[in-house]
């Protein structure tokens, strides 16, 4: 009998220690690889399963369930969905976001949407109240998902100041295929030197088929704006909300008065010489209302068919009717109808039945629909006479009688 080895094993049947350890290691590696492979296959199977589809037009419970599911999921879970499902999810989230009120009746929030709030354009980059309320959550999510892209606007509400431009934009945002920047970019009048890339970066992300929009009412009276917008794209659709120039002038004055209560009276600002009745056309409140003159400049760069003139008066008396025209003009399905509006007696204006993202009604803030001061009727009459020939010219140019002259 041969002597036992040091470990007590028979020397002929015993393997060297290192070999047995190596075998065990190989076995473990194989089983690890196998389980990794099985895990990978399972993951792949999950990946190819379609994400649950929720009917967009369905009841609020379904939308609520979707919101909880998606919002509870982290970016990693979202990344596991196939691209088409992710697009749909993003679209659903965008629709949910649009239902959230972009500006509450809170004065501070509303002020962020005013055209003349200083620093708004800079705020669009992230710090402005308007931009952060409207864009940050959705934009961030889109960024995480790497879905959608920022586009230059295909349609712009170019004017007119105090015409009802905010109401039009807020109503349009109800449409699932419209994405609009909340605050006024003022690119073509104040920030043109920042370049188109800067401008595009202000825009919200859009998916295919969605229209990017913005509104800056001062464009209509900016001499350089027509050529600049045409240089961006000759196909840009232009929307102008016009309102009786006399009421518009009083509205404009009322806004200034609310910020600087010590300004002279409307009557004294209207005239160069009150006794001769000579109107001061250099006063911007008067100048902006000479629509025919401003329009001439636009028609040098755009055919009239590429411009839509919305009646500010009808936007109040029949918002769904005007929104129907706008949706047609933009090539959108008529989704915004009279079902979306109700007349709020306290506000004295039409409001949205449902604010974005909630079931609550939503009216514009208190800077929209201010009470105007009493103006001497003789001055109003003189202004009517002043505007009449310009109005008639404007009706001719647009092929539309807005009915401001009786």
Q: Which positions are catalytic?
A: 162
Residues 45-84 that bind ligand PPS (CB under 6 A): none
Binding flag, residue 165, ligand PPS (CB under 6 A): yes
Rounded to an integer, what distance in angstroms lies between the CA atom of residue 210 and that of residue 213? 10
Rounded to an integer, what distance in angstroms lies between the CA atom of residue 209 and that of residue 85? 16
Rounded to an integer, what distance in angstroms lies between the CA atom of residue 202 and that of residue 218? 18
Residues 306-325 that bind ligand PPS (CB under 6 A): 315-316
Q: Which is nearer to ligand PPS, 96 or 161 (CB)?
A: 161
Binding flag, residue 98, ligand PPS (CB under 6 A): no
Q: Which stretch binds ligand PPS (CB under 6 A): 147-155, 159-167, 227-235, 275-283?
A: 159-167
Q: Is 230 annotated as a binding residue?
A: no
In the chain, what is the straight-line distance between the N-terminal and C-terminal CA atoms, in Å? Answer: 129
Out of 89, 96, 99, 166, the only residue in the binding site for ligand PPS (CB under 6 A) is 166
Residue 144 β-bridge partners: none
Q: Is 206 annotated as a binding residue?
A: no
Rg, C-alpha atoms of the chain: 31
Binding flag, residue 398, ligand PPS (CB under 6 A): no
Kindly write down the DSSP assignment for every residue of 228-268, as one continuous string. HHHHH-TT-EEEEEE--HHHHHHHHHHHHHHH-TTSPPHHH
H and E: helices and strands count for the chain: 18, 11
Binding flag, residue 102, ligand PPS (CB under 6 A): no
Q: Is 370 annotated as a binding residue?
A: yes
Rounded to an integer, what distance in angstroms lies between the CA atom of residue 101 and that of residue 365? 11
SS3 158: strand
Spell out, one character per residue from 115 to 134, where the chain touches ligand PPS: x when CB under 6 A holds, - when not. Answer: x-------------------
Tally Cβ neighbours within 10 Å of residue 37.
10
Q: Which is nearer to ligand PPS, 174 or 364 (CB)?
A: 364
Binding flag, residue 167, ligand PPS (CB under 6 A): yes
SS3 13: coil
Number of residues that bind ligand PPS (CB under 6 A): 20
Q: Is 393 annotated as a binding residue?
A: no
Binding flag, residue 185, ligand PPS (CB under 6 A): no
Q: Which stretch binds ligand PPS (CB under 6 A): 37-45, 82-90, 146-154, 366-374?
A: 366-374
Q: Which stretch binds ligand PPS (CB under 6 A): 24-32, 286-294, 361-369, 373-381?
A: 361-369
Main-chain phi, psi angles of 368, to 5 degrees:
-110, 120
The site for ligand PPS (CB under 6 A) is made up of 114-115, 161-167, 217, 251, 254, 315-316, 349-350, 364, 368-370
């Amino acid at each position: 009998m041969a002597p036992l080895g040091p470990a007590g094993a028979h020397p002929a049947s015993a393997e060297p220690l290192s070999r047995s350890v190596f075998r065990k290691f190989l076995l473990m590696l194989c089983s690890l690889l196998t389980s990794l492979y099985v895990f990978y296959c399972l993951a792949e199977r999950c990946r190819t399963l379609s994400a649950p589809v929720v009917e967009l037009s369905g009841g609020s419970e379904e939308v609520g369930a979707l919101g909880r599911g998606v919002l509870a999921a982290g970016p990693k879970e979202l990344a596991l969905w196939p691209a088409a499902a992710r697009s749909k999810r993003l679209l659903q989230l965008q629709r949910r976001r649009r239902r959230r009120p972009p500006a509450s009746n809170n004065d501070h929030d509303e002020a962020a949407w005013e055209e003349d709030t200083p620093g708004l354009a800079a705020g669009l980059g992230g710090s402005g109240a308007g931009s952060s309320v409207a864009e940050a959550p959705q934009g961030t999510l889109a960024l995480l998902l790497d879905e959608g892209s920022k586009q230059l606007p295909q349609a712009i509400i170019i004017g007119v100041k105090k015409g009802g431009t905010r109401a039009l934009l807020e109503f349009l945002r109800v449409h699932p295929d419209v994405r609009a920047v909340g605050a006024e970019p003022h690119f073509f009048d104040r920030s043109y030197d920042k370049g188109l890339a800067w401008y595009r970066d202000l825009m919200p992300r859009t998916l295919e088929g969605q229209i990017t929009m913005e509104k800056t009412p001062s464009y209509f009276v900016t001499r350089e704006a027509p050529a600049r917008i045409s240089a961006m794209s000759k196909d840009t659709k232009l929307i102008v909300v016009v309102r009786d120039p006399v009421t518009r002038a009083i509205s404009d004055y009322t806004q200034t008065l609310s910020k600087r209560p010590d300004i002279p009276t409307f009557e004294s600002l209207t005239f160069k010489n009150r006794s001769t009745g000579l109107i001061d056309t250099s006063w911007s409140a008067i100048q902006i209302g000479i629509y025919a003159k401003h329009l001439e400049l636009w028609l040098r760069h755009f055919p009239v068919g590429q411009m839509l003139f919305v009646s500010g008066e009808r936007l109040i008396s029949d918002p769904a009717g005007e929104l129907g025209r706008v949706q047609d003009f933009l090539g959108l399905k008529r989704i915004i109808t009279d079902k979306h509006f109700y007349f709020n007696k306290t506000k004295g204006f039409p409001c949205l039945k449902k604010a974005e993202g909630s079931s609550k009604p939503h009216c514009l803030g208190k800077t929209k629909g201010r009470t105007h001061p009493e103006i001497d009727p003789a001055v109003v009459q003189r202004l009517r006479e002043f505007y009449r020939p310009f109005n008639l010219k404007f009706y001719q140019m647009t092929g539309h009688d807005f009915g401001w002259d009786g």
